[in-house]
Structure 1
Amino acid sequence: MAPVFQRLIQRRVSLVISKTWMPYEIPLYFQRSQLICSLKHALSTRSVDSALSLVKIIEKVPHFTHSRSSLKALGIALAKFRRFSELKGLINSIRNKEFPGVSTESIDMDEFLWHAASGDLDSVLHLWDKTKGHRGRRCVEVYNVLMGIHAKAGNNSKAVKVFYKMMEENAAPNSRTYATMIEHLVSSGKLDSAIEVFRILPRMRIRRSSRMYAALLKGFVDARRIEDVSDLRKEMQIDGVLLPLRQCSDKEGEDDDEDEDEEDRGDVELASKIKFDLEALSALDDANLAWTSSLVCKILWRMMSNNKVEDIWAFYCWLGSKPGRFTHDAYTASTMLKILAMRWTSEWDAEQRNKGFTDNWDGELITKIKEDGISLSYNTLNYIIERRGLRGVIRLFGRAEEICHPLSKFHHMILYSTFMRKVSHRRQLAFPRGPLDLLDEMISRGILPDIPTFTGLMHYFLVKKEIIIRAYLRRGKVDQAFKAFQDMRDSNFMPDAATKAFLVKHLSKKGKLEEVAVVEAGSQEINRLPPLQLHGYVWNVSSFDLERVYNIYFDSF
């Protein structure tokens, strides 16, 4: 390794360790950062000896200590180059607590991931039992990794079996699960199956990620299916997905792509480590960065690790005050809204939760978004409804059509379902309307609830020792109870026999004989739902959709 690179790395590490920044150092840091990113890129494409040499140099920097991140990066490098003896030594060193401050709690999972990165299927299978947690359950990511390694090895049926095993063991598939499935289908030439799974995901409340879009777009471009490419591009805008540049993942799983773009990685690292005071912002301005939506989104997410919400908001506003150099768009506005909403559901920035920025996101930012003609994706609004305090959600929900347009009936249904779930989880009567009132409003607007919504409502009323139809009947709303029965029947979700008998009794008292005949005839139409179910995942996924996805995947191989 050239001496100039050695000095560069040592200087950069010293800056990072000190965590003290002088404004005049920032432009110089950017230059160094770009060089170092180029060096890292070169190392990743050369032998592992280069990576090991880099580690040895860094370890000589005064006061340097390894973190879990640096050891994870080293483990991945050793695994990719299949240097199993050094990898075993690293694992043993971690287990023996030779790295102060690095916990051994996750070493079993790290070892599993490293062997998966090496493509060593035998070792992965050998480590399978070690991935169980203290309660004897595995995290979803373990299944995802095993499913992916089988798919890459061409073990198609085994990949399908892993997906089934997830459901069998009550591990709810997530966005990364379906991204792996779609990539597997596309790489196997099963484009129609891949897009069919992709179309089902919104009904299962699964966010369609840039990773899924990238796989499908590549598949359709290679197959010269231009019309499908055009349709996907339109859906990307509706879903609020930014391509081809990737967005940085945050701790909530905002994006599934682990790799970042090499050209702006250094900028992100710098921005996430300095405090955005006026002097630092001025120095950033002098650095003449080429601000892009992708870069700004990454920086905003990264700032969460060691910045208060007011610092992130100040940086966002500072960027917005630079016409000609950068203009906020739907992607950066959505990211800022999500970050502001997240502070209500986590310990992050807990001291600031009730100070200062209580309504800024709902006032200033939403107003600015409207003034700029920016339309947010319904996914963004749904994300915020899930995480924001109830009062803020009530205001926001009422402005849904102003913020997100156009909103289809399906999008409205998803938003209503999320709102109902939010209200149903409230123990205190802070909201004058309950889930049943929202259901009435929803149906009156011609928006039919889907199976997960009905399942969630059934669970809500069962907890209260009621059923949705019974709840209507006890309130004397016979017509609404009958309408709920019809909607449930149309959604292939039939109530139990006792509830139907209770409904018939009340309809008969009101002399509604035609309705009685409809209910009794409906008893012949009960649809037997598939056996695959995710207990406790009401409001999200129906076993009907899960079975359909599984059948598509199974039939493809």
Structure 2
Amino acid sequence: MLNNLGRAGQIHQMKLLFEEMKSNGCEISRITLSNVMLWYYKAKDMRYVARHWNLLRREGTQPSTAIYASYIDFLARSRRFTKIAVIFEEMMRRDYLPSSRLYTVFIEHLVNAGKVEDAAKILELMQHMLVFPSRVTYKFIINGFAKTGKVERMLETLEEMREYFHKPAKQFMPAVIALQKAGMVNEAAVLMEEIQPKVVEGAGSIGPRVDENDDDDATDADPVLTVWRCASTSSFLFDICAFTNALHSWNPEVEKVLEHADLDWEAPLVMGILRRMRKMDVLWSFFHWLKDKVGYKHDSSSTAVLLEKILRSKETLQKKDSLVKDLFDGLKKDGMNFSIQLFNSVIRYYVSVGEPEKGRSIFNLIGAFDLEPNRFSYALLIQGFARNLQGKEATVFLQEMQKKGFPLDNTTCAEMINCLGRARKIDQAYALYCKMLDSDLKPGHFVYKALLTVYSNAGDYGMALKLYDDMRQAGITPTQDMYEVVTRILHKTGRHVDAQQLAEGRRLLNFFDGNKKVLQERLLQVLFTFMRGVKAKKISESA
């Protein structure tokens, strides 16, 4: 009932019920306390967020990742930035990795402070740590670029958002206005059509979509939060979570029950169930039952959910490859309109597990589905082959990408420079860096780290120092993951004072040991990027 009231936005009634439970001596579990705190957070009642945080502390209850995110948001709104670093360190020491929701909190406050580029850096770091951004995350950055008039950056981020199957909603109207002000009328009209598609006559209204609540981080499902939804059913108390949990197996009896269920199989309900299913065999059967028995027309969104479950399952790579191709072939025969993002999601997975050859086999299927690869298709394969030190294959795709007129990006260039450097093709690595400058692409810290590593390993410390100075003049400070290579360069070139200053700035925060060092460095980079951005605003306001 607490969850039901919270979901309905009846926070006052939820508060009264919670107080009644306590006064009657009911045992308040960790899950109940966490749920109530999260509903206060969603209602932006930060006073009660703080009260429940203190209650959790007094009772010795271990907060969840989502609770940490809620409290850090409270601290940011209260401008208690030093405390944020302490809480963030506590999370790391307890092995609680930040969720999509916490990154979104950082990004929101950076955008509000006018530091949209810093917010974009955190977005980039999220993807390096394989944390997929939610639509809410993109909303803040896209609207931030829109309000600052950076229309090209806004369009790039919109294109990237679509790669994760997020569709623009009404909260993206600042982007439409920015396009109109920039004289890009056609682009504004296309975006407006995505935000408010024409309603098919006679289709009727099926209520709010499951994925239209912009308060939720769709990729950040907290295990202690039970979500109640009313979706395409006559019962007000229809619990989609309980319904999905009941589908723990698949057999003819289950099919009979579903056929007689009082449910309208519309997109909101289908997507809600698909996202909550855990068992791969049940999900596969349910997906095809909808298609074959109910006549449900799957699209890229529902197919993307099944794809994600397949790729994250414990099946072998060979089995996954077979399932993906069977799925695509079956949906092609049914006449589904595919999107390039479906293919890119599979390529992205194969690249992440070090199998770019399998990614290339998916890339080669794109033409058979009447589609053309986009810049992400090429970039993913270039990164995959470069990481595997397959420079020849990476170069072929890089050249093809450039012939198509697709722009370079920092991550792809950094991987390529690193690959060329390890193959001792230093001149080619530097030539790619120069090409970035000629194309007005500002190299980021990943590119500079790759170049500094290349020249340092080659023993050319003079050139490495020049690049380091260029990096500093471009306004890029050494990040934590650059510490070792930069320190070596500074000592080798006699810049001992600079090396000492860098060492002093690096004190603290050993969250992890061993093979988690790279992850630690990136998490520190997220924290420091946030702290620098919000503190800069605080200093300017004081001045």
Residue of structure 2 aligned with 1:396, choices 332, 348, 362: 362
Following superposition, the deviation at residue 113 of structure 1 comes to 1.2
Checking the alignment, whether the CA contact within 8 Å between 1:300 and 1:335 is kept in structure 2 is: yes
- Separation in structure 2 between the aligned mates of residue 321 and residue 169 of structure 1, nearest angstrom: 40
Partner AA of 1:413 in structure 2:
R
Task: Map 1:100-499; keep pairs closer than 5 Å.
Answer: 104=62, 106=64, 110-111=67-68, 113-114=70-71, 116=73, 121-122=78-79, 126-132=83-89, 133-134=91-92, 139=98, 142=102, 144-146=104-106, 148=108, 156=112, 159-161=113-115, 164=118, 177-183=137-143, 190=147, 193=149, 196-201=152-157, 210=166, 213-217=169-173, 230-233=189-192, 245-247=209-211, 262-264=229-231, 266-278=239-251, 279-304=253-278, 307=279, 309-324=280-295, 326-343=296-313, 350=314, 352-353=315-316, 358-362=321-325, 364-388=326-350, 389-403=355-369, 405=371, 407=372, 412-426=374-388, 434-443=393-402, 449-467=408-426, 469=428, 489-490=438-439
Partner AA of 2:298 in structure 1:
H
* Partner SS for 1:360: helix
Following superposition, the deviation at residue 319 of structure 1 comes to 1.1
Paired position in structure 1 for 2:55 = 90
Checking the alignment, whether the CA contact within 8 Å between 1:413 and 1:447 is kept in structure 2 is: yes
Partner AA of 2:259 in structure 1:
D
CA spacing shift, 1:419–1:84, aligned 2, 3 Å:
closer
* Partner SS for 2:149: helix
Partner AA of 1:400 in structure 2:
I
Checking the alignment, whether the CA contact within 8 Å between 1:275 and 1:311 is kept in structure 2 is: yes
Q: Could you give the per-residue CA deviations for residues 507-534 of structure 1, whole angstroms, max 9, x where no partner exists?
A: xxxxxxxxxxxxxxxxxxx999843479
- Separation in structure 1 between the aligned mates of residue 387 and residue 9 of structure 2, nearest angstrom: 51
Following superposition, the deviation at residue 374 of structure 1 comes to 2.4
- Separation in structure 1 between the aligned mates of residue 393 and residue 29 of structure 2, nearest angstrom: 52
Checking the alignment, whether the CA contact within 8 Å between 1:91 and 1:111 is kept in structure 2 is: no
- Separation in structure 2 between the aligned mates of residue 163 and residue 222 of structure 1, nearest angstrom: 17
Following superposition, the deviation at residue 398 of structure 1 comes to 0.4
Checking the alignment, whether the CA contact within 8 Å between 1:417 and 1:453 is kept in structure 2 is: yes
CA spacing shift, 1:383–1:143, aligned 2, 3 Å:
closer
Partner AA of 2:209 in structure 1:
L
- Separation in structure 1 between the aligned mates of residue 162 and residue 93 of structure 2, nearest angstrom: 26
* Partner SS for 1:92: helix
- Separation in structure 1 between the aligned mates of residue 265 and residue 22 of structure 2, nearest angstrom: 32
Q: Mark the structure with the bigger radius of gyration.
A: 1
Following superposition, the deviation at residue 366 of structure 1 comes to 0.9
* Partner SS for 1:262: coil
User: Comparing 270-279 with 483-492, which one deviates more in the overlay?
Assistant: 483-492
Asked if 1:41 is matched to 2:8, the reply is yes
Partner AA of 1:266 in structure 2:
D
CA spacing shift, 1:204–1:285, aligned 2, 3 Å:
closer
- Separation in structure 2 between the aligned mates of residue 484 and residue 138 of structure 1, nearest angstrom: 34
- Separation in structure 2 between the aligned mates of residue 485 and residue 163 of structure 1, nearest angstrom: 23
* Partner SS for 2:271: helix
Checking the alignment, whether the CA contact within 8 Å between 2:347 and 2:359 is kept in structure 1 is: yes
Partner AA of 1:232 in structure 2:
L
Following superposition, the deviation at residue 417 of structure 1 comes to 1.1
Checking the alignment, whether the CA contact within 8 Å between 1:48 and 1:78 is kept in structure 2 is: no
- Separation in structure 2 between the aligned mates of residue 195 and residue 147 of structure 1, nearest angstrom: 19
- Separation in structure 2 between the aligned mates of residue 205 and residue 85 of structure 1, nearest angstrom: 33
- Separation in structure 2 between the aligned mates of residue 492 and residue 127 of structure 1, nearest angstrom: 33
- TM-score, normalised via structure 1 length: 0.58
Structure 2 unaligned runs (5+)? 128-132, 198-206, 232-237, 452-469, 483-528
Checking the alignment, whether the CA contact within 8 Å between 2:167 and 2:194 is kept in structure 1 is: no
* Partner SS for 2:67: helix
CA spacing shift, 1:143–1:484, aligned 2, 3 Å:
closer
Checking the alignment, whether the CA contact within 8 Å between 2:5 and 2:11 is kept in structure 1 is: no
The alignment covers a number of residue pairs equal to: 422
- Separation in structure 2 between the aligned mates of residue 78 and residue 436 of structure 1, nearest angstrom: 52
Checking the alignment, whether the CA contact within 8 Å between 1:76 and 1:114 is kept in structure 2 is: no
Higher relative CO (Cα under 8 Å, sequence separation at least 6) belongs to 1
* Partner SS for 2:249: coil
- Separation in structure 1 between the aligned mates of residue 321 and residue 163 of structure 2, nearest angstrom: 28
Give RMSD over aligned pairs.
5.4
Partner AA of 2:286 in structure 1:
F
- Separation in structure 2 between the aligned mates of residue 360 and residue 58 of structure 1, nearest angstrom: 53
- Separation in structure 1 between the aligned mates of residue 333 and residue 152 of structure 2, nearest angstrom: 38
Paired position in structure 1 for 2:202 = none
Checking the alignment, whether the CA contact within 8 Å between 1:458 and 1:468 is kept in structure 2 is: no
Structure 1 unaligned runs (5+)? 10-35, 98-103, 344-349, 472-480, 500-525, 538-545
CA spacing shift, 1:273–1:230, aligned 2, 3 Å:
farther
Checking the alignment, whether the CA contact within 8 Å between 2:49 and 2:74 is kept in structure 1 is: no
- Separation in structure 1 between the aligned mates of residue 23 and residue 425 of structure 2, nearest angstrom: 66
Checking the alignment, whether the CA contact within 8 Å between 2:382 and 2:397 is kept in structure 1 is: yes
- Separation in structure 1 between the aligned mates of residue 405 and residue 106 of structure 2, nearest angstrom: 43
